[in-house]
Amino acid sequence: MWKTLKRWFHQLGSPRTFYRFSGALIPWLFVAMVITLAWGLYQSLLVAPTDYQQGESYRILYVHVPSAWMGLFIYVLMAVSGLIALVWRMKVAEMVAIACAPIGAAYTFVTLVTGSLWGKPMWGTWWEWDARLTSELFLLFLYLGVMGLYAAIEDRRKAARAAALLALVGVVNLPIIHYSVVWWNTLHQGATVKLFSGESHMHPSMLKALLIMTAATKFHFGVALLQSVRARILQQESKASWVQELVDD
Amino acid sequence: MNLLHILWSLIQRDLRLAWRSRGELLNPVFFLILVIALFPLGVGPEGKLLARIASGTVWVAALLATMLSLDLIFRSDVEDGSMEQMFVSQTPLSWIVLGKVITHWLVTGLPLVLLAPLLAILMHLPQPGLWALIQSLALGTPVLSLIGSVGVALTVGIRKGGMLLSLLVLPLYVPVLIFGTAAVENAIAGMSPAGPLLILAAMLLFALTLAPLTAAWALKVSLS
Amino acid sequence: MTDFWQMGGYALYVWPSYALFLAVVVYWLVAPWLEVKRTLRKMKQRKRRQHARANTGEQHESQA
Amino acid sequence: MTTCHFRQIRYERDDEPVFGTLEFSLQPGHMLVVEGPNGSGKTTLLRVVAGFLDMAEGHVEVEGRTLPVRDFHETLPLAYAGHKPGFKDDLTVLENLRFLVALHEGDTRRIGAVLQRVGLWGWEDNLGRALSAGQRKRLALAAMLLHPAKLWLMDEPFANLDGQGIALVNALMREHLQQDGMLMTTSHGTFPLEHAHMDILRLDGGKGDRA
């Protein structure tokens, strides 16, 4: 088992195999995304019951929470593929790490805006230095740092490796920043009203809607990431013979 | 392979260099006092209000002062080729980074710690908070230099890396700021500042072990 | 049906949130896809230009 | 110190190969001169061997072991004299040398003798910035001599040097080679002196250059 996994890992490392493999996978992911997204939206807007406390405004949770999870998930994935790129010097891993950054930043931005939209009716202000929103804000800064560093260095390969290293530094600091902010938040205002109603005691159909929406965001990320990496492969491997053949037919 | 001797000669050299250009040496200190002086102008001179925001202001100003001087760590050695000689030597690069960070702290961090009493007066910081401020700055400023060295190692190859450096480094400074100010707030409120100070000490050890290695790796990547 | 659109009075908050979410989802589906097509098209054009230049016998022209 | 064979050395910047796949070897007592027009990657090749460019591809066989070329610089003490001075303008000649000796774990007692050898005796207390271009090159040479290095990597060793300086550099090279040291230099002009054991590696800025 380990042998095939290792072979598969190295095979996937070659831009050409990755290009073909992702090309085959994208249609399936796309279909899965459309289904889960439609089903998820239906569940979250129509089926899930109204929240006895917050009324209808809690439905923002079905886009806010999945986006927050995606923002975190993508950062960790970026750091992991960055580590692979740095240690095994794999071009594809570099491209995956760099392609992750803008998508993750987009999801984090959505989380921040929907969080503030959700908080407005409850807190009366657009921005509340709530622990989770604050650490989301710093997650966005970490993303902007990685993207800024990549854009600032001319040589593509060197830029990718520097950005990958920064992503590693970021992922190590992520929990430290998060728990410092959470601790700081309890220190200053005492526990604010729990913005995110805990998943555990949610009504089953609420939980179902949330999980479907989360699945939809995962499929969406799959399509978006693979397609962005394919674009980068074409740009960076434009000299390669297999790309020239691709252009001919 | 007497690493301590090499480390000491590196620090000695950098301190002599810093002394030779001592004009810029005091910039972080002047910057700090200037920033602190802005707050009463902006927020109003009432002592009670200033005292309330004193610890936060001093810490944020210390953060910015350290960050502005991070460029000193590698910039000049990279530009005149000394960094190449350090690459080529058998001394592990992380050891060289450690030496440079120590010098940076001695040149910018330490003055901030020594300046704390003056800043406390300017900001009407309540008396019990002063000793905690000094302790927290003493533990926190080395962490700022260590984390900053990673950021500046990543941006040393970029011509106009200044703004980018702050974007990379400031988010990583958040935990130090939080626990630094918390120590002072605890002391002011009459509680013992030991808790946050111990956390700062833990961060110092964490940064001391990881930051030089990461910065050395970053230097290799950005200078290749 | 109308109270569905009102969202219990929170329409001003719920709909913009969903709109932003869907906008980001759609953008990240369309943009990379266009990027791939644009890159392929650009390479096709460059290839065609090179062929045209080669055929007209301008050998000394250095490869772009 | 045995011969080091470099195989399939390649380096790309912005996905453009700076030089094609190179094959060459460094032998004790032998000197390798890398020749080629400007921009053919001579300095880059030297920096690859010095270990500055860890994106370089290819491997090197040293003492029966094969290792990636980017780790080659860890296998033996090597000295690098590039375009940049490598010392500080704000430190005196003596302060600079004393630090470089400590850094490379050389022998401080030899500083006096080396200063005399490179013709900087009497200039010890001058700041780096006060030296002329030729003198700065001699200070770099002094640092090199104080460095217990087996392999010397010298980029344009004769730049900014007068006749006397060139003679000095050749003499130092000859001594280094006689002590079974290895030497790799770059030059685009005609080489002022024929050394007994000298190999030429031509980089014509094209692809696939041969030793």
Q: Residues D44-84: pLDDT tens digits? A: 999 999 999 888 889 999 888 899 988 888 888 899 998 89
In this prediction, the residues of chain A whose per-residue pLDDT falls under 70 are 188-201, 249
DSSP label of D192? S
Domain range list for chain A:
26-231
Name the neighbours of C, counting chains with at least 3 Cβ pairs within 8 A. A
Number of domains into which chain B is organized: 1
Task: Specify the pLDDT at position D148.
Answer: 83
Contact between B184 and B126 (Cβ < 8 Å): no
Q: Given this model, what pLDDT does residue A188 score?
A: 67
Q: Which residue has the tokens 């770059």?
A: D186
d(CA A206, nearest CA chain C) in Å: 16
User: Minimal Cα–Cα distance from D206 to chain B, Å?
Assistant: 22
Q: Are B175 and B113 in contact (CB under 8 A)?
A: no
Nearest CA in chain D to A239: D15
Percent of chain B past pLDDT 70, that is, above it, reads 100
Say whether pLDDT at B80 is over 60: yes
Q: Which residue bears the tokens 């066989």?
A: D61
Q: Which of A144, A168, A183 sits opposite B167 (nearest CB)?
A: A144
What pLDDT sits at residue A199?
A: 45
ipTM score over 0.90, yes or no: no
Phi then psi dihedrals of residue D32, to 5 deg: -110, 125
pLDDT at residue D197, as a whole number: 75
Contact C47, A247 (CB under 8 A): yes
Task: Indicate the residue of B168, B185, B210 with minimum beta-carbon distance to A149.
Answer: B168
Confidence (pLDDT) at C1: 66
What's the confidence (pLDDT) of residue C3? 73
Whole-number Å distance between alpha carbons of C9 and A148: 41
Please answer whether residues A160 and A94 qualify as being in contact, where contact means their C-beta atoms are separated by less than 8 angstroms: yes
Query: How close is the nearest chain B Cα to the Cα of A148, in Å?
Result: 7
**For chain D, which domains are there?**
1-77+183-211 (3.40.50.300)
Task: Please check the confidence at residue D192 and state whether its pLDDT lies above 80.
Answer: no
Q: Residue B218 pLDDT > 50, yes or no?
A: yes
A177 with B214: Cβ contact below 8 A: no
- Interchain CB contact of B10 with D (< 8 Å): yes
Quote the DSSP letter at residue D105. Answer: T
Residue D200's beta-bridge partner residues?
A: D33
Question: How many angstroms away from the CA of D57 is the closest CA of chain A?
Answer: 11
Is the distance from CB of B152 to CB of B73 less than 8 angstroms?
yes
Cα B88 from Cα B85, distance rounded (Å): 5
Q: Does D207 touch chain A (CB under 8 A)?
A: no
Total domain count for chain C? 1
pLDDT recorded at residue C35: 94
pLDDT for res D207 = 46
pLDDT band at C63 (very low <50, low <70, confident <90, very high): very low
Return the sign of the alpha-carbon dihedral for residues B118, B122, B128, B133: negative
Round to whole Å and give the CA distance between D60 and D23.
10
Tell me the pLDDT tens digit for each residue of D16-55.
788 778 889 998 888 888 888 888 888 899 999 999 988 8
pLDDT digits (tens, 9 = 90+) for C4-57: 777 777 888 899 999 999 999 999 999 999 999 999 999 888 888 888 877 776
pLDDT confidence of residue C4: 77
pLDDT value at residue B101: 96
Number of inter-chain CB pairs under 8 A, A vs B: 69
The answer to whether residues A160 and A98 touch, using CB atoms and an 8 Å cutoff, is yes
Q: Do D15 and A158 touch (CB under 8 A)?
A: no
Q: Would you state the pLDDT for residue D194?
A: 63
pLDDT tens-digit map of B22-44? 777 778 888 888 888 888 888 88
Q: Is A48 helix (H, G, I), strand (E, B) or coil?
A: coil
**pLDDT at site D211:** 43
Candidates A141, A152, A187; nearest CB to B171: A141
pLDDT of res. D209: 43
- Which member of C28, C40, C47 has the closest CB to residue A220? C28
Measured between CB atoms, does B88 come within 8 Å of chain D? yes
Domain range enclosing B132 = 2-223
Range(s) of the domain holding residue C57: 2-63
Q: What is the pLDDT of residues D137-148, one digit of tens each?
A: 999 999 988 888
For β-strands D198-202 and D31-35, DSSP reports them as parallel
Give the tens place of pLDDT for each residue, B95-147: 999 999 999 999 999 999 999 998 888 888 988 899 999 999 999 999 999 99
